[in-house]
Amino acid sequence: MNGVGTGHICDSCNKRIQHGDKAGLYATWYDEGGWTPRRTWCLDCCPESVYPSTEGADEAILVGVFFSHRLAGIRVRDRSTPEEERC
Ligand SMILES: [Zn+2]
């Protein structure tokens, strides 16, 4: 992945995410558009898993390094896909 554009303020504690800091994202995957970030957190606030998950959406917690308004070196911490939903 080339990186995902994101904000620079933690959604939870309002801490400013500095250039080069690790940060977390909650993002939804679209086949054509790639990851669409919904929330941004500092690493302290980033949850361990997708919660609450959205029914029918392919979504994930992503962790990377904030660099020039983008998150680089992204790793998927947790991912929730519709296929994994249990009845
Ligand atoms: Zn925070």
Q: What percent of the chain has pLDDT above 90?
A: 55
CA of 32 to the centre of ligand 1 (A): 30
8 vs 3: which has the higher pLDDT: 8
Count the neighbouring beta carbons within 10 Å of the beta carbon of residue 71. 25
Confidence band of 1 (pLDDT split at 50, 70, 90): low
Cα 10 to Cα 23: distance, rounded to the nearest angstrom: 8
* 32, pLDDT greater than 80: no
- Mean pLDDT along residues 12-23: 95
Please give the structure tokens belonging to residue 26.
């909650």
CA of 74 to the centre of ligand 1 (A): 18
- pLDDT (0 to 100) of residue 84: 56
pTM: 0.81
CA of 61 to the centre of ligand 1 (A): 14
